[in-house]
């Protein structure tokens, strides 16, 4: 049974990659697909970052006393103003470290 599942998954993986590299698939995506693809990065980043900001390893979901929330707000502000990934990361981490140092 497990061999059948492994072979089936391998075939599906091969077919999905082969179709995109061959002449079977169209060269351009439909307009509605291109429009929908603009929302993929923000959806993925939100799904990754929100749990990391709100869920503390020891306590679970924590809103009061969570220093990651103000740091995330500062980092979001920097991202909107500068549109620079490096500036956002550096300012966000520096804010978190400064808040952690001043509060505790």
In a domain, 34, yes or no: no
Give the Cα separation of 6 and 78 in Å (integer).
Answer: 46
Residues 49 and 21 in one domain: no
Residues 50 and 1 in one domain: no
89 pLDDT band (50/70/90 cuts)?
Answer: very high
Per-residue model confidence (pLDDT) at position 27: 76
* Greater pLDDT, 1 or 6: 6
Per-residue model confidence (pLDDT) at position 69: 93
Give the Cα separation of 101 and 99 in Å (integer).
Answer: 5
87 pLDDT band (50/70/90 cuts)?
Answer: very high
Residues 60 and 87 in one domain: yes
Q: How does pLDDT run across 47-80, given as a tens digit for each residue? A: 998 998 998 888 888 888 888 999 999 999 999 9
Residues 97 and 60 in one domain: yes
Residues 22 and 56 in one domain: no
Residues 48 and 4 in one domain: no
Show the domain range for 77.
39-103
Residues 52 and 89 in one domain: yes
Per-residue model confidence (pLDDT) at position 19: 83
Residues 43 and 91 in one domain: yes
């Amino acid at each position: 049974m497990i061999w059948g599942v492994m072979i089936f998954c391998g075939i599906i993986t091969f077919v999905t990659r082969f179709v995109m590299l061959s002449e079977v698939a169209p060269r351009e995506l439909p307009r509605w697909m291109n429009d929908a693809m603009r929302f993929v990065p923000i959806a993925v980043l939100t799904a990754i970052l929100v749990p990391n900001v709100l869920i503390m390893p020891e306590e679970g979901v924590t809103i009061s006393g969570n220093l990651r929330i103000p740091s995330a707000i500062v980092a979001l502000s920097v991202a909107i103003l500068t549109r620079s990934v490096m500036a956002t990361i550096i300012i966000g981490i520096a804010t978190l470290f400064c808040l952690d140092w001043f509060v505790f």
